[in-house]
Each structure stands twice: as structure tokens, then as C-alpha cells.
């Protein structure tokens, strides 16, 4: 059965470039309190007057979307084995992500917990990408070296 929920292969490279940029923006925003004047806006009513700049929202959303582009783009040679590895990687990433989250719930408190929750959004897709490409590229290489 063909997987029709995937983006064209070119989105992988677009996602890689964008994710690098948005990751840099996330680091600048969350660790160095950077706010872009271009993303300043009138106080948003539903934030109870707490937000007048969308830099942090843009950074984290951009990172999530660009990582999704990488994760949901076709491989160059997409076949049933790649689909099976992708499914298995999602399962492992799902379990790993929620295990980390539960560990964070019991070990991190106060304002730091808010940061844990905030960074848990892109963490699932990031863990999936690590596992997927590890299984697809690194494991066959290590097996080949072992049998050579």
C-alpha cells in the first residue's frame, strides 16, 4: 500500500535549512532574550496582556513545522522497507518522548517545568528523526563494516 501522506523529497532539504534557522532563533529567543522588532505586535487580548512580541511563538512554531517537513518527506527511494522503518521509528519516538515527559513531570518544578513543556513540542518529531535516520543509514553501515 503506497503511503500518500508524504511530501516530495525536496521538502527534506527545505526543512533542514529552515530548521537550522529556526533552531538558531529559538536559542537566541529563549537563552539570550532576543525579540525581533519585526514581530512586535499590539498586545494580544487572549494572552491576558502578557505578550506583545511573537518572536518566541514564531521560533518554536517554525522549528516544529520545519522538522515536520523533514520527517514527512519522501526518501529518495521510498519503498515498503522505508515505510516499515518509519512506522517503527514513530512508535519508539512516541514511547521515548512520553517517558521523558513523565520523568520531567516528577523531576522538574517551577518555571523550569514550563520550559520542559515548551520544548516537549518539537521533541517528539526530533526524536523520531534521530531514530529513523539511525535505523535507515547508520545501522546498515555498521552491519556492513562488521561483515566486511
Q: How big is the chain by its Cα radius of gyration, in Å?
A: 18
Nearer to another protein, 33 or 79 (CB): 79
Nearer to another protein, 47 or 91 (CB): 91
Q: What are phi and psi of 94, to 5 degrees?
A: -60, -50
Q: How far is the CB of 147 from another protein (least distance, A)?
A: 9
Residue whose cell numbers read 532539504: 13
Contacting positions for another protein (CB under 8 A): 75, 77, 79-82, 84, 136, 140, 143
Nearer to another protein, 88 or 112 (CB): 88
Q: How far is the CB of 146 from another protein (least distance, A)?
A: 11
For residue 53, what are the CA distances in angstroms to 5, 39, 47? Answer: 34, 6, 11
Residue whose cell numbers read 513523565: 102
14, 70 Cβ separation under 8 angstroms? no
Q: How far is the CB of 69 from another protein (least distance, A)?
A: 22
Q: How far is the CB of 140 from another protein (least distance, A)?
A: 6
Residues in the chain: 148
Nearer to another protein, 48 or 77 (CB): 77
Amino acid at each position: 500500500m503506497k503511503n500518500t501522506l508524504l511530501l516530495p523529497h525536496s521538502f527534506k532539504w527545505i526543512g533542514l535549512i529552515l530548521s537550522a534557522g529556526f533552531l538558531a532563533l529559538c536559542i537566541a529567543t529563549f537563552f539570550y532574550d532576543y525579540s525581533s522588532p519585526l514581530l512586535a505586535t499590539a498586545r494580544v487580548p487572549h494572552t491576558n496582556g502578557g505578550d506583545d512580541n511573537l518572536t518566541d511563538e514564531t521560533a518554536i512554531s517554525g522549528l516544529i513545522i520545519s522538522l515536520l517537513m523533514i520527517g514527512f518527506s519522501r526518501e529518495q527511494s521510498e519503498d515498503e522497507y522505508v515505510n516499515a522503518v518509519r512506522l517503527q521509528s514513530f512508535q519508539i519516538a512516541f514511547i521515548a518522548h512520553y517517558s521523558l515527559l513523565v520523568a520531567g513531570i516528577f523531576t522538574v518544578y517551577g518555571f523550569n517545568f514550563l520550559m520542559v513543556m515548551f520544548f516537549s513540542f518539537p521533541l517528539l518529531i526530533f526524536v523520531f528523526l534521530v531514530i529513523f535516520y539511525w535505523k535507515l543509514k547508520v545501522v546498515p553501515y555498521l552491519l556492513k563494516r562488521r561483515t566486511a
